[in-house]
Structure 1
Amino acid sequence: MTPDINPSRRQLLQMLALGAGAGILQGCSSMSSPAQPSQASLRLYLTACSGIVPEKQRQLALPRLAHAGFSLENAAALNRVYQRFSGTDTERLSDLQTLLDQPQWPQLIMAGRGGYGAMRLLPRLDLARLGARLKESRSLLIGYSDFCAIQLALLAKSGAGSFAGPMLGDFGSATPNAYAINEFIAGISTPQRSLRIAGSQPQARGEGIFWGGNLSVLSSLAGTPYLPDIKGGLLFLEDVGEQPYRVERMLQQLHLAGVLGKQKAIFLGDFSMQRHVDVYDPHYNFDAVVAELRRISGVPVFTGLPFGHIAAKTTMPLGFPARFQAEGDGVTLQFLDYPTVDASAIQIPALLAERPI
């Protein structure tokens, strides 16, 4: 389902500049002397709490971010390799714990990639202090996939919200996605932002805490102290690489744990269902999963949220209030009362350059 986004005036101006800006950057990339980075306007602290960050992604993403105007911190952590992880548990733990010793936090804290490993860190993270500092500094903690284990744990233990959005790998694509880049800049800098999802949807409206993340990670936290106990919330879910019956099984787990019935609504992002055939029944598909979810949860279930393991993803506050209004032809989400940063000096064309300057 294709999302219908109503861009702000700033977004429209940025989009109009993309074509000309990308052409200029491609020309610059062929010069013998590299261009100098633009004056940094935002401190971006990088973490590697899960899987190994591929070298190719680092080589493309880091120059793009630097030339766009981000001042990169802790980038050396992205080079670590231990077994299947981006460093030992102690090394990966230090990425976030080290922040506690910093008197002034960076405006942005971003995950390197997903995979697996964040869950192993939860018992050793000082979640209460990290959450308190995150709220005090109004820094934006950004990521998704496996990293949402840390985001959910912070929400559960301290009430600190974060942002579901791109990680370093999204900026390290061979061909950066213009929608995702523009959504990222708009998402971190625009207060009271709205997202419109077109398509046939059940009629409903409501307000609550917008929270959730990767279904596999979220279901694995059920029954632990690291899953937030959100009543009357707006739960969003996404996943990748799972057959339909496995998706339903995880949803059933959340249902039996009492999570689904507490929500006011459920929003489904991308599940890559078009690439997976159920091993037991090839006719059992995403529509069947959605129908079962509606039956067991008893709350409105909306599909088509542009988020997940896809290139064209949006950026959304996680753990902050939101309201929704759904009519027959779509649903509008409005996000409320979340921190933002001034991203006016960020050079979007530099983030879209196929070859970093």
Structure 2
Amino acid sequence: MLSRRSLLRTGLSLAAIGMLQACSSPLRRPTSPTAAYPTMPLQNQEITLLACSGSLPSAAQRQHGIDRLQQAGFDVTNREAIDRQYQRFAGTDQQRLQDLNQLSQRQDMPRMLLAGRGGYGACRLLPDIDYARLCPMLKEAGTQIMGYSDFTAIQLALLAKGGVGSFAGPMLYSDFGGRNISPYTMQQFIQATTTPDWVVRSQTMQSVNDHGEGIFWGGNLSVLSSLVGSPYLPDIRGGLLFLEDVGEQPYRLERMLQQLYLAGILQWQRAIFLGDFAMGRIVDAYDAGYTLDSVIAQLRQQLKVPILTGIPFGHIHDKTTLPLGYPARFNSSENGLELQFSDYPVHSTTGLTLENLLHNNL
């Protein structure tokens, strides 16, 4: 009986050639959208858990996340990863690294790699990931890689070292395992991972009327800025850079943005997209009137690049799912913002319904 990998090789041979070539070079300007990632076969419903960062302290919450995914028809593997704890981390550096590198020893790749949670620690793994073996396998199989927050370090490194895209989207602990799971988040997760040409819209009025295209990339601002000067930050020119963060005072956000500006990264982009920064009650310690709006205004004075706001993603309850490292088009106006994504891996909808994910909601 043929393995899934053999079947994929037959069906995706032409696309795989282009993808394997891309795996050895950094991303630059986007190419025209192609059908490189058709809908995958029905039989693979495996989600492999990764715990690259902080520990997941509540056993009940961990189990709730697994239960919900199983209700939706997924086979959840590598569960032991989310039970580990070493200092503040979900296991030692070697254990967390092994979760990634052992994938290259498999015959068939999973449908999805799902991050357990964020926190801190993923950056410690970057030098020892086996990119040369892992990246071509992930791309050939069309494996979806899902997470955000500290997991941004893994996502950016895979993109920089192997041209492997991913998804900024819900994680096991805080989203699938959380109390009062968000119907909006789950519906967006389903649609983004099963629908070609996914469209995200925001009704936030934009400061400029503009349109364009590029590789949509980025993630957590703190993590991204920490990788400046390293080989793990993608070299993307003419891209659509997305940023979000949590728990940072306005001046700290500006300092990180200034770091990207001084490094020339912001100037290289076609447009910059700001998600949610979860400011809540955070007030600048020196000037209560210095807000996130002040930071954005300063950045707009410095840059000719359009800065667009209102992307519904970040450390928030209701979040969309965003393909990262794939082509996208945008349109902005006083009526809002629209992003259309293309050329990312999608999978069958069989068994994956909002009703199943919300069953026995806490």
TM-score class, shorter: 0.7 to 0.9
The equivalent residue for 1:179 is 184
TM-score between both structures, scaled by the size of structure 1? 0.87
The equivalent residue for 1:33 is none
State the secondary structure of the residue aligned to 1:64. helix
Amino acid at match of 2:92: T
The equivalent residue for 1:294 is 300
RMSD across aligned C-alpha pairs, in angstroms? 1.4
Instruction: Say whether 1:304 aligns with 2:310.
Output: yes
Q: After TM superposition, give the deviation of residue 51 of structure 1 in Å.
A: 0.2
**Distance in 1 between the 2:43 and 2:187 partners?**
19
Q: After TM superposition, give the deviation of residue 271 of structure 1 in Å.
A: 0.4
Q: After TM superposition, give the deviation of residue 295 of structure 1 in Å.
A: 2.0
The equivalent residue for 2:46 is 43
Q: After TM superposition, give the deviation of residue 60 of structure 1 in Å.
A: 1.4
Q: After TM superposition, give the deviation of residue 65 of structure 1 in Å.
A: 1.0
Question: Is this contact kept in 1: 2:50–2:82, CA < 8 A?
Answer: yes
The equivalent residue for 1:109 is 113
**Distance in 2 between the 1:277 and 1:40 partners?**
50
**Distance in 2 between the 1:355 and 1:230 partners?**
41
**Distance in 2 between the 1:130 and 1:289 partners?**
39
Structure 1: gaps (5+ residues): 1-38
Q: 2:344 aligns with which of 338, 345, 349?
A: 338
Q: After TM superposition, give the deviation of residue 344 of structure 1 in Å.
A: 2.8
Amino acid at match of 1:209: I
**Distance in 2 between the 1:150 and 1:296 partners?**
30
**Distance in 1 between the 2:162 and 2:74 partners?**
28
Number of residue pairs matched by the alignment: 318
TM-score between both structures, scaled by the size of structure 2? 0.86
The equivalent residue for 2:200 is 195
**Distance in 2 between the 1:41 and 1:63 partners?**
18
Q: 2:290 aligns with which of 280, 284, 290?
A: 284
**Distance in 1 between the 2:228 and 2:302 partners?**
17
Structure 2: gaps (5+ residues): 1-41
State the secondary structure of the residue aligned to 2:280. helix
The equivalent residue for 1:27 is none
Amino acid at match of 1:335: F
Amino acid at match of 2:100: L
The equivalent residue for 1:97 is 101
1:52-201 matches, within 5 Å, as 52-55=55-58, 56-169=60-173, 170-201=175-206
Question: Is this contact kept in 1: 2:250–2:291, CA < 8 A?
Answer: yes
The equivalent residue for 1:259 is 265
